[in-house]
Structures are given as C-alpha cells and as structure tokens.
C-alpha cells in the first residue's frame, strides 16, 4: 500500500508539471527558458526571466484560494450561479477532496514550489560566473518564495499536514504534521534570510519591498502561528514594519491588462449579480464600531439586496479592489503592526496598546482604553483591518474560537476546520 501511495504521489507531482510546465517559459507573456534547460544549468540571461515567471505564477488561482478561505471564515459569501459549491460545500462543512476549491490552489502553489526547486537546481549546476553574493541572493529569493507557497498550503490543510520536501519527484518527502511543517517553513525562511542578508535582492523585484523585508514579515506571521512571540518581534525588527508609515505599504501581487498578463480576479464591480458576486457577511457589517472606516470595504448595494441560496439577502458588496488591475497584498504593514501588538499583548501591554492605537486611529477610531488590549480586542482589529485577506478563519482557529464565532447561517450549515488532502495526492 505504501508503494502504491508513493506511485500516486509521484504521478500527482508529475501532473502538476505537465499542467504548469509552461509557466516559466511562456506564462504571463514571458519568453523565458525551458524548465529542463534551467535545471541543467542557469545562465545569466535566463535569471530575470525565471524570477519574473515565478512571481507571475504565484498569482495563479489566488482568487480561488482567497475566496475559499474567506467563505469558510465567514468574511463574505461567494455567489456563482454556475457553481453552487460556494454556498454548499464550503458553508455546510462537507468538503470534497477532488473539488476545485482545494485541488487548484494546491496545484498552483506546488507548481511554484517546483519552479523554485528548478531554479535552485539550475544554480547548483551552473557554469555561469555568478559571484557568491549573487548565488546567495538567488537562493534567498527561491527559498523565501517556496516558504510563502508552502505556508499558504499548510494554512489550508492544517492538521492534515503537507509535504515540504518535493524537490525530487522520484523520492518525495513524507507528509509532515502541521507543527512539523511549520517548523520546516520557518527554518527555510531563516536560511533564506541569511542568504538575502549577504546577497541582497535578485532582479527583478516587483513586490514593493525588498525580498529580505518580505521574508522577515512572513517569518513573523509564521512565528505567530507557532506561538513564538520572541521570533515574531525579532523578525519584525528586520521587516518593513513602520508604525508611522502607510498601513498599506508592503508586498503585493501585481496585475496588468497587457496581452498575456493576468487580471485581478478578486475584483467585481459594484452591484454584481448572482452570476458572480462577493457579498460581505451581515455580521461584518453589523458588528463594526460606529465610525470604523474599515467598514468601507463593504459597500451598500444600490441595486438592492442579493437573495440567493436561502441566505439572508446580502446588502453589501465586498469592494476592496476598484479595478481589475489593482494589486493584491501578500503582506502589509497593517498586518505587521497587529502582529507586533499580538506579540506584546501579555509581556508588554503598553507597546501592544500603542500598536493597536496606530491601527485604530488610521481607521478614524479613538484609542483603546488603558489595559484594553486582550484577545477580543486583537481579533476585532484583525477582522476589520485584514478583511477578505484570508486571515479571519486562521485567526479563529489558532485562538480556539471557530465554534464560538463562526456564524451558522442556515440549518445544515457547519464549520470547516481544515481542507482535505487532494484525492490524487498519495499520502503515506
């Protein structure tokens, strides 16, 4: 049985390569090299094309992933008349291990991991005269992006675990537990940070922050999931966190309308119909503090409520992006400030209050009462600051509050704790 599962797993990874093998060479209007030529030995002209291809392919199925995590976290309802699973499976909690909402994000993330592994293999086999600093920069970039993709998969599958070692498709690493995989990802980020510190950025970088700053912000996020608040604070000190800076500054996925590029599929026009709509959960609208400007992310439908699937008619559209070329945040300054507050909440409440007040004041709200930063306060601020970015479901789960706070909208609805391992992935 183990042999059969290993064969199934290898076939699954090979399927990813077949489906995504064009992503480096011709994905997103790039004229890059063939993947086998990269792994055989990376050349200097190939490098920027490979980096651009990886950054472009990170966007694949981003909208499916964000939608799925936002629906199970009750940030919003996703309506699509051609696919009732958005208001069916994901809200009843009965998930299909062969459904698009897990198979496509899973495949997309592991395809990028594979591209990063090919880049690393090509670097190892290169005859190009890269300096030691250049090699460090390439390794740091590839391993940081790998860690981002693996963390995304892990947060979806949770206690089902994931494979973190998939470099050799003939000898895949075993599934690791949630805790084990989280440790592996943090170790990968720390190794990458060492390389980026000595090597600097590899070109191009379209994120909006340096790869090292992105790495450290991502490390702070992963460390918070692990409950390692000393690491959170250490990583934040080397990130792009800025208490007096723009809360929206950070690392972003970029989109463009140019031929062969990709559009932001998280954008829907206001007053969208049931054919395709994202409706803010009524509790998000009703539970906001008076005057909280973050409620502007949900805009009142002037065409009238949307009534579908026996849900309470939806009165507000999700409206974070105003066009199909708006960038989408990977990690923003606002999240880092809230991570700082979380890390200081018990040990240094004064600093936690200061950080929370930075976020509240930016939202048009007054300071929190002295001594008022607790778990409830933290989760409120994260809910409204990070709305529809995929965090609320993870936050309620890691604080043990899914059962207490997930709204059951209809008889028969349920709570999702984790997504299943895709059917075609042979787990031992």
How many residues does the structure list for the chain?
Answer: 428
Domain locations along the chain: 2-205, 277-318
Give the pTM.
0.92
Closest of 104, 115, 195 to residue 152, by C-alpha: 104
Q: Could you tell me the CA-to-CA distances from 317 to 272, 278, 281, 303, 426 in Å, in that order?
A: 8, 6, 9, 11, 40
Tokens at 120, concatenated: 């690393």
What pLDDT, on the 0 to 100 scale, is given for residue 259?
84
Tokens at 312, concatenated: 């309470």
Strand partners, 11: none
Tokens at 201, concatenated: 């950025």
Please give the torsion angle defined by the CA atoms of residues 201, 207, 208 and 211, in that order, rounded to the nearest 10 degrees.
-30
Say if residues 272 and 305 touch (Cβ distance below 8 Å). no
Cis check for the bond before 204: say yes or no (omega within 30 of 0): yes
Question: Tokens 């803010």 sit at which residue?
Answer: 280
Considering the segment(s) 2-205 as one domain, its CATH architecture is Alpha Horseshoe (1.25)
Closest of 258, 244, 318 to residue 30, by C-alpha: 258
Rounded distance, CA 135 to CA 396, Å? 40
What pLDDT, on the 0 to 100 scale, is given for residue 23?
32
Taking only the tens of pLDDT, the chain with its 428 residues reads 343 343 334 334 444 443 433 333 222 322 233 455 688 899 999 999 999 999 999 999 999 999 999 999 999 999 999 999 999 999 999 999 999 999 999 999 999 999 999 999 999 999 999 999 999 999 999 999 999 999 999 999 999 999 999 999 889 999 999 999 999 999 999 999 999 999 999 999 999 999 999 999 999 999 999 999 999 999 999 999 999 999 999 999 999 999 889 999 999 999 999 999 999 999 999 999 999 999 999 999 999 999 999 999 999 999 999 999 999 999 999 999 999 999 999 999 999 999 999 999 999 999 999 999 999 999 999 999 999 999 999 999 999 999 999 999 999 999 999 999 999 886 54
What pLDDT, on the 0 to 100 scale, is given for residue 427?
55
Rounded distance, CA 408 to CA 93, Å? 11
What pLDDT, on the 0 to 100 scale, is given for residue 362?
98
What pLDDT, on the 0 to 100 scale, is given for residue 39?
80
What pLDDT, on the 0 to 100 scale, is given for residue 229?
98
């Amino acid at each position: 049985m183990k042999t059969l599962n290993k064969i199934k797993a290898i076939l699954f990874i090979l399927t990813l390569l077949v489906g995504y093998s064009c992503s480096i060479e011709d994905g997103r209007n790039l004229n890059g090299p063939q993947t086998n030529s990269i792994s055989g030995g990376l050349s200097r002209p190939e490098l920027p094309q490979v980096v651009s291809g990886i950054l472009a392919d990170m966007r694949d199925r981003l909208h499916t992933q964000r939608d799925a995590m936002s629906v199970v976290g009750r940030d919003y309802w996703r309506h699509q008349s051609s696919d009732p699973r958005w208001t069916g499976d994901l809200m009843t909690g009965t998930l299909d291990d062969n459904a698009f909402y897990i198979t496509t994000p899973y495949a997309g993330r592991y395809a990028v991991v594979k591209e990063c592994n090919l880049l690393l293999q090509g670097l190892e086999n290169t005859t190009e005269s890269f300096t030691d600093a250049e090699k460090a920069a390439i390794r740091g970039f590839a391993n940081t992006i790998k860690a981002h993709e693996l963390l995304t998969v892990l947060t979806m599958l949770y206690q089902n675990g994931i494979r973190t070692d998939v470099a050799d498709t003939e000898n895949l690493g075993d599934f690791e537990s949630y805790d084990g995989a989280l440790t592996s990802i943090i170790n990968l980020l720390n190794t990458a940070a060492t390389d980026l510190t000595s090597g600097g950025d590899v070109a191009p970088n379209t994120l909006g922050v340096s790869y090292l700053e992105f790495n450290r912000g991502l490390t702070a996020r992963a460390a918070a999931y692990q409950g390692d608040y000393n690491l959170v604070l250490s990583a934040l000190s080397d990130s792009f966190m800025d208490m007096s800076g723009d809360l929206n500054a950070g690392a972003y996925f970029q989109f463009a309308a140019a031929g062969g590029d990709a559009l932001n599929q998280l954008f829907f026009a206001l007053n969208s119909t049931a054919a395709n709509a994202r409706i803010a959960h009524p509790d998000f609208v009703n539970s906001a503090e008076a005057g909280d400007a973050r409620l502007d992310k949900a805009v009142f439908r002037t065409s009238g409520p949307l009534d579908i699937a026996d849900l309470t008619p939806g009165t507000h559209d999700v409206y974070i992006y105003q066009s199909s070329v708006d960038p989408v945040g990977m990690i923003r300054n606002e999240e880092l400030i809230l991570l700082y507050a979380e890390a200081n909440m018990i040990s240094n409440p004064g600093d936690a209050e200061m950080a929370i007040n930075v976020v509240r004041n930016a939202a048009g709200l007054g300071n929190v009462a002295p001594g008022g930063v607790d778990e409830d306060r933290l989760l409120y601020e994260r809910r409204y600051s990070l709305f529809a970015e995929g965090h609320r479901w993870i936050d309620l789960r890691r604080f043990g509050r899914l059962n207490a706070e997930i709204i059951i909208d209809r008889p028969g609805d349920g709570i999702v704790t984790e997504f299943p391992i895709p059917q075609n992935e042979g787990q031992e």
